[in-house]
Amino acid sequence: MTAYLKMDEPDRRNRLDSMAQGVIGQPLDRMEGPLKVSGTARYAHEWPVERLCHAVLVRSTIARGHVVRIDRSPVEAMDGVLAVIDDDRLLRNPAQGTAGKAPVQGPREIFYVGQPLALVVAESFEQARHAATQLRIETMATEAVLDPESESTDRERPEGKQTSQGDLDRAMAEASHSIDAVYHTPGHSSAAMEPHAAIAQWDGDDLTVHASCQMLKYNQEELADALGIDAGRVRIVSPYVGGGFGSKLGIAHDAVAAAIAARAVGRPVALALSRRQVFETTMRRSESRQRIRLAADADGLLTGLGHEALVSQLPGETFSEPVAQATHFLYAAENREIIHEIVRLNRTCAGSVRAPGEAIGMTVLETAMDELAVKAGIDPVALRKRNIPDKDPEDQRPFSSHMLDQALDRGAELFDWQRRRPEPRSTRRGEWLIGLGMSSAARVNSLMQAESRVTLGGEGVRIETDMTDIGTGTYTVLAQIAGEMLGVPMDRITTVLGDTDLPPGPGSGGSWGASSTGSAVYVACEEIRARIARKLGCRAEDLTLKDGHAITGNRSTALGELIGDAPISVRGVVEPGGTSKKVRQSTYGAFFAEVAVNDVTAEVRVRRMLGVFAAGRILNAKTARSQCLGGMTFGIGMALTEELIHDPRDGSIVNRDLAEYHLPVNADVPQLEVELLEERDPWASPIQAKGIGELGISGAAACINNAVFNACGVRVRSYPVTLDKILAEL
């Protein structure tokens, strides 16, 4: 039986709040935690498979051109080698998130350094790795486009991604205070700890792939389409995913190549990308050039706002980093101009890295807002509060809920912001200059179609969906929703995830996973409650479910007794509807940081950092907090160390490993503080929850950069804020 909800109207019943189990929102430990801390959670490359052989990719060393010839026979004769494969179906680029069809294929045409061209399959990993180094591929190079800011390269301005309202030039001319500045952000890598990997095995015409994927419903379609087979013949299994952050949204080289190879050699094949291959062949976040124009009156009220962004992408790809996504609605200003430009380059494919758009767009906008605050002599918190719109400033839609004002106030209070001294270089501890900075956080919110099966049996509850848990807490939060709705203790709930044989959901991405699939679980549970009520002859509203008992009036019945041998199984389906269009939905927050800048070396250390966030109902205070910690730490990396460096001669990524691409390490991150605000958003979902996985990065780097300015008086407009850039001005 199926229960269905289309989210056409806001749900203000807040049903989860009137339940009795008391588990929703609680900071419970992760259900799968004991497996993870004991090393027994099984990731893609770890499935025990008989007769497994190993494949290693061989890749392009040129940026543009084509393959002339592959000298396969010397390698085919090597010890243990089973095959050299250059199948036309090998991917050129991985799939973008929610593509649902094959990405661009055909390895003979070369578009970037590092593009996979072939693979070697051998009995052992060591044999395959060595043989791959020996494969000679003759290529013919043609001219590549490599400079994202060259004036001679065409820039695309896609229709529908440009906004012009009022007269920004005039607003700038008439402004009491204005900012017109150009900023740069570098490319970023998701750098999830588990490299992309797949084990593919065929049983007749049926394919099973154990892979590290974020969005199984789409990945199944993408893989099947890439192989030219029916999606019904493809099963993807990903119960544990060692991080994704966007890099595993779409099907990637590993799964497609492993499937082709397994067919070719008639044996299961494992293919794991090396760390360098992860950097060079999976998604990068595009670098950006951003020009911000802010016009304000004497009181700091914005009269004009301009945000122009230039990002890069490979030819033919439709995705481009939506830099100004939150600029459209964050601050009121009558005169607005938002420009989105794309330059086509021969660099690794650009795609989603945690919070595509806001991660760099909010960061730059919030750096510019700090510059305006300084120029106008207005407190940065007050400046933002003054410019919060009461409806979407472009299309006049109301906001579903709006907690920026509260987040700013709460953050200022918790961080003791009033003690900040606005004049740079005001606070010194020995060699170190201390400064405080802040920024706003915002990230768009969306609900996606999702399904989930919930079965209430004598033993407890079972939840099944193809949704993934990439560290997001899915196992636990789905169980908390069902436990609350059905009055079943957590130790009697099983969550089964990450298998395309289960009801499909939108996967983990865009921060929509928990609210979408969680709503599907909720919808199924509401139906189960209705059926229990019918059995007991009462109204669902008069039914209390707690600790495995159904209580109506003064009668208590054990659920096991009530259900007997006939478990109640309901497929819950939720679909976005009118609420996605009628209102503007976003999450909000505020970041505060205290940094120390060394007055001699210009080294920057983050001493304290606070994030205050509002994302609707919090499903689990512990896992939600950890998602925020992760986002804020990405922000520290963006602010201070993370930068993909491209060789100007061929566009290749120079720092393609974890020694040279600097993620924050433990010593870079102080005891971050996270405050989650109480909120219910009735428009967002029937559980009143919004996404939280990306909010913590959306603007975070700016608070650190702004704190650096407050500490030492140097304004860096090119991220990351490395000491060479500060030292030059110190």
Partner 1 sequence: MHTQLTINGENHDLEADERTTLLDALRQHLRLTGTKKGCDHGQCGACTVIVNGRRINSCLTLACMHDGDEIVTIEGIGTATDLSVLQQAFLSADGFQCGYCTPGQICSATAMLEEVKAGWPSHVSDRLDGAPELSDEEIGERMSGNLCRCACYPNIVAAIRAAAGSAA
Judged by the rule CB under 8 A, the positions of this chain that interact with partner 1 are 29-30, 32-43, 45-46, 48, 124-127, 130, 190-195, 240-245, 272, 274-275, 470-473, 622-623, 625-627, 629-634, 657-659, 663-672
Other Cβ atoms within 10 Å of 204 Cβ, number: 6
Residue 352, helix vs strand vs coil? coil
Whether the CB-CB separation of 168 and 304 falls below 8 Å is answered with yes
DSSP 8-state assignment for residue 245: T
Closer to partner 1 by CB, 46 or 547: give it.
46
Among 194, 337, 366, 694, the one annotated catalytic: 694
Q: Which amino acid is at 219?
A: N
- Of 66, 88, 91, residue with least CA distance to 143: 66
- Of 319, 311, 314, residue with least CA distance to 145: 314
List, as one string, the DSSP characters of 457-474: ETTEEEEE-S---SSS-H
Q: Is 567 exposed, middle or buried (0-12, 13-18, 19+ CB in 10 A)?
A: middle
3-state helix, strand, coil in the chain (%, to 5): 30, 30, 45
Q: Is 380 exposed, middle or buried (0-12, 13-18, 19+ CB in 10 A)?
A: buried
Q: How far is the CB of 374 from partner 1 (least distance, A)?
A: 30
Q: How far is the CB of 468 from partner 1 (least distance, A)?
A: 10
Closer to partner 1 by CB, 52 or 141: give it.
52
Q: How far is the CB of 511 from partner 1 (least distance, A)?
A: 15
Q: How far is the CB of 190 from partner 1 (least distance, A)?
A: 8
Torsion of CA 326, 330, 335, 338, to 10 degrees: -10
Q: How far is the CB of 180 from partner 1 (least distance, A)?
A: 35
Residue 370 is inside which H or E element, if any?
helix 358-376
Q: How far is the CB of 714 from partner 1 (least distance, A)?
A: 26
What is d(CA 21, CA 66) in angstroms, rounded to the nearest whole number? 63
Closer to partner 1 by CB, 152 or 671: give it.
671
Closer to partner 1 by CB, 29 or 109: give it.
29
- Which residues, at least 6 apart from 5, have a Cβ–Cβ distance to it below 8 Å? 519, 523, 572, 573, 574, 575, 686
Closer to partner 1 by CB, 496 or 538: give it.
496
**DSSP H helices in 537-611:** 559-563, 579-582
Whether the CB-CB separation of 314 and 284 falls below 8 Å is answered with no
Q: Which amino acid is at 613?
A: F
Q: How far is the CB of 80 from partner 1 (least distance, A)?
A: 9
What is d(CA 254, CA 491) in angstroms, rounded to the nearest whole number? 37
- Calculate the alpha carbon distances from 59 to 93, 103, 277, 444, 651 in Å: 12, 18, 9, 37, 15
Q: How far is the CB of 487 from partner 1 (least distance, A)?
A: 26
Closer to partner 1 by CB, 566 or 659: give it.
659
Tracing tokens 């990306």 back to the chain, one arrives at: 694
Q: Is 194 a catalytic residue?
A: no
Q: How far is the CB of 37 from partner 1 (least distance, A)?
A: 4
Closer to partner 1 by CB, 19 or 609: give it.
609
Q: How far is the CB of 365 from partner 1 (least distance, A)?
A: 23
Q: How far is the CB of 133 from partner 1 (least distance, A)?
A: 12
Q: How far is the CB of 632 from partner 1 (least distance, A)?
A: 8
Question: What's the maximum distance between 2 C-alpha atoms anywhere in the chain?
Answer: 83
Closer to partner 1 by CB, 42 or 233: give it.
42
Q: Which amino acid is at 547?
A: D
Whether the CB-CB separation of 211 and 198 falls below 8 Å is answered with yes
What is d(CA 561, CA 314) in angstroms, rounded to the nearest whole number? 61
Closer to partner 1 by CB, 175 or 702: give it.
702
Radius of gyration (C-alpha) of the chain in whole angstroms: 26
Closer to partner 1 by CB, 173 or 193: give it.
193
Closer to partner 1 by CB, 566 or 667: give it.
667
Closer to partner 1 by CB, 393 or 699: give it.
699
Other Cβ atoms within 10 Å of 665 Cβ, number: 9
- Which residues, at least 6 apart from 230, have a Cβ–Cβ distance to it below 8 Å? 224
| CB crowding 512-549: b at 16 or more within 10 Å, else e | bbbbbbbbbbbbbbbbbbebbbeebebebeebbbbebb
What is d(CA 521, CA 687) in angstroms, rounded to the nearest whole number? 10
Q: Which residues are catalytic?
A: 694
